[in-house]
């Protein structure tokens, strides 16, 4: 048996066959941060950014990205997501906006990539909408916080501190 799941016996790219897997409720949560100036955070909070409502635009972008994950990441299965939610927490004391994304479905494969894609595109959208005000922003800390369901069961990011806990 081939040890690599995304490569066939000849070394060619291979989409994993999940048809024999059991369906289960699966959920994943991911997070990421955009570090920005105090002035830029204030513009986001007060809705004075010249490009418009930054957080609403980034939320929609993140949801759309999760739904298009299979078009962006090679060999990802197209999934029938039952729920995608993207949220923001302004953490002015840390000079950042925290983005979280939750993806959920009942299916045969996990949704970690969809949650990561949602966070990635949402943080990129925050950057795009605020770059005129603060071109030195930093996107950082994108990771899966937890996943629920599937054969391997539930998983939580190790040593998750209280600051990033969901």
The rounded distance, in Å, linking the Cα atoms of 115 and 17 is 21
Structure-block tokens of residue 28: 């994943």
Q: Do 102 and 147 meet the contact criterion of CB atoms below 8 Å apart?
A: no
Q: Element (H or E) spanning 61, and its range?
A: helix 54-67
Catalytic residue among 71, 128, 134, 154: 128
Q: What residues are paired with 140 via a beta bridge?
A: 33
| 128 part of the active site | yes
3-state secondary structure of 27: strand
Pseudo-torsion of CA 73, 11, 147, 142, nearest 10°?
-50
Tell me which residues are annotated as active site: 128
């Amino acid at each position: 048996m081939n040890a690599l799941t995304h490569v066939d016996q000849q070394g060619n790219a291979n989409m994993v066959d999940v048809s024999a897997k059991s369906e289960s409720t699966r959920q994943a949560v991911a997070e990421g941060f955009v570090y920005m100036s105090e002035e830029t955070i204030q513009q986001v909070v007060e809705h004075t950014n010249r490009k418009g409502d930054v957080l609403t635009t980034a939320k929609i972008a993140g949801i759309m990205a999760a739904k298009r994950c299979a078009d962006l990441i090679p060999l990802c299965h197209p999934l029938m997501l039952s729920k995608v939610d993207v949220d923001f927490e302004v953490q002015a004391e840390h000079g950042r906006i925290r983005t979280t994304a939750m993806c959920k479905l009942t299916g045969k494969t996990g949704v970690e990539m969809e949650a990561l894609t949602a966070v990635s595109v949402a943080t990129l959208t925050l950057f795009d909408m605020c770059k005129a005000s603060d071109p030195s922003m930093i996107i950082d800390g994108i990771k899966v916080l937890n996943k629920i369901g599937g054969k391997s069961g539930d998983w939580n990011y190790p040593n998750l501190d209280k600051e990033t806990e969901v």
